[in-house]
Structure 1
Amino acid sequence: MKTLLFFTLCFTINITQAQTPTEKANKIALKVMEQMGGVENWNNVHYIKWDFGKRTLHWDKWTGNVRVENPGQNLVVLVNINTLKGKAFKNGEVITDLNELNKLLTQGRKWWINDSYWLTMPWKLLDPGVSLTYLKTEKLPNKNTADVLQMTFENVGVTPENKYWVYVDQQENLVKQWAFFKSFNDEKPRFTKAWDNYQTTGNILLSFDRSQGAGGPKNVIVKQQFNSNLFTDL
């Protein structure tokens, strides 16, 4: 009888301590954010500037104001990503046609969504509308073991059908690789790239100027003080 009671007690404890794939993934995501400086420090970041491809972006995190400079199109878009209000300049001239302006404001927001995701994805692992689940472990190119988390989306972003696999180094508790699937049902990713070269910017870590072929943001600047005219004037 004692043996039976002991076995029952142990089994109950194991069941209680068991984690679902979502719970395990969420705990790993929290470790990642803590390793990168913590959510409080991330929320306290006021301004970020970075280059993505041929674009330069300025982002006031607290207000949602964004400036996108696209020299290849002689275009500057000033848009609030929350209200979709703003202005745009083409060849140095302000756009007055409302239909054209609205198209450019929408495009500016889409650019920001894409370009900022390549910079801030680890901070968004637990965003509303994100479904995070633990898949497996896998070896990284440096032979370290990574926990692989799957990200899917529900009614968020401009491409909610996308899927990502996020590789978190078990030793460093940092995202070190990611894979992009255009559709949730795709078996193979469109790409798998490094997410490396973390650098201290203010009180947080961000990954930029990554390994050759990894793409992503470059020349990142994080500030608390900046010229607010960036979001109102050409």
Structure 2
Amino acid sequence: MKRILKIIGSLLGFFLLIGIIGGGLAHEPLPLGNPGSGADALAHKMLDALDHEKYEDTRILQWSYRGGANSYKWDRKQGLCLVKWDDNEIVLNLANPTKSDVKVDGVPTSQKEKEELIQKAVKMFNNDSFWLVAPYKVFDKGTQRAVVKMENGSQGLLVTYNSGGSTPGDSYLWLLKEDGLPYAFKMWVKIIPIGGLEASWDDWLVTESGAYLPKTHQFGPLSLSMGNVKGFK
């Protein structure tokens, strides 16, 4: 999370400089969309373009974040994720985080420190995994979908997360190719004061399991690497 905040902070600084030179950076208001069956159909079209069944059949996902400082090995079947950063190693129980196993430099820690590290690991996982699998979360519990008519005549998919995760209320507008494959989204999220910031989703890797997962994301001049992304059955 700290890494993404630094990235966003640097990006906002860049855009602020552009704004000073060019007359100001426009904040995009959250677009209005039409919810209902049309939005659900567009979401299914996006999932079909990604061959989402291959993702659903993928048991193990591996990736890293923050320049490799945060690493993850997620067993989706067992609901466990091995989270590592600095000297911390946590087997995170996603269904019941209190049952997570925590070690610091290979040694169990105090109860207070354990609770603090689990809370941090949950926030890290929620953020860092979203940048890996967000397209597959459009039907998560608490989501609302709507179709947005874009200026170029295409349809965008607006997804709002009303509950769940670490920052409920955030919205993302998926920009899609004609076949439904996503190539970017725009964000309206609590941690960014400017609405409509765009991030790319066009550097796709087809994993060993057949799942489509991103290798990098581009924020203007900045790049966010997902590390050595892997997916296994």
With normalisation by structure 2, the TM-score equals 0.75
1:181 lines up with 2:194 in the alignment: no
CA contact (8 A) 1:55 1:69 kept: yes
Aligned to 2:171: 163
1:99 deviates by 1.8
CA contact (8 A) 2:211 2:231 kept: no
- Corresponding residue to 1:221 among 215, 224, 230: 230
Point out where structure 2 has 5 or more consecutive residues left out of the alignment: 1-33
1:88 lines up with 2:102 in the alignment: yes
After superposition, the C-alpha distances for 1:182-234 in whole angstroms (9 at most, x for unaligned) are 24xx7723x2111111121122211223456242522101112xxxxxxxxxx
CA contact (8 A) 1:119 1:207 kept: yes
Aligned to 1:47: 60
Question: Compared with structure 1, are the counterparts of its residues 178 and 86 closer, same or farther at alpha carbon in structure 2 (3 Å cutoff)?
Answer: same
CA contact (8 A) 2:189 2:195 kept: no
Aligned to 2:75: 60
CA contact (8 A) 2:64 2:229 kept: yes
Question: Secondary structure of the equivalent of 1:79?
Answer: strand
Distance 2:93 2:151 in 1: 40
1:134 deviates by 0.8
With normalisation by structure 1, the TM-score equals 0.75
CA RMSD of aligned residues (A): 2.2
CA contact (8 A) 1:167 1:175 kept: yes
| Identity level (%) | 21
Distance 1:197 1:163 in 2: 22
CA contact (8 A) 1:148 1:166 kept: yes
The structure number with the bigger radius of gyration is 1
1:58 deviates by 0.7
After superposition, the C-alpha distances for 1:98-135 in whole angstroms (9 at most, x for unaligned) are 12112211211211111111010111111121001011
Question: Compared with structure 1, are the counterparts of its residues 208 and 138 closer, same or farther at alpha carbon in structure 2 (3 Å cutoff)?
Answer: farther
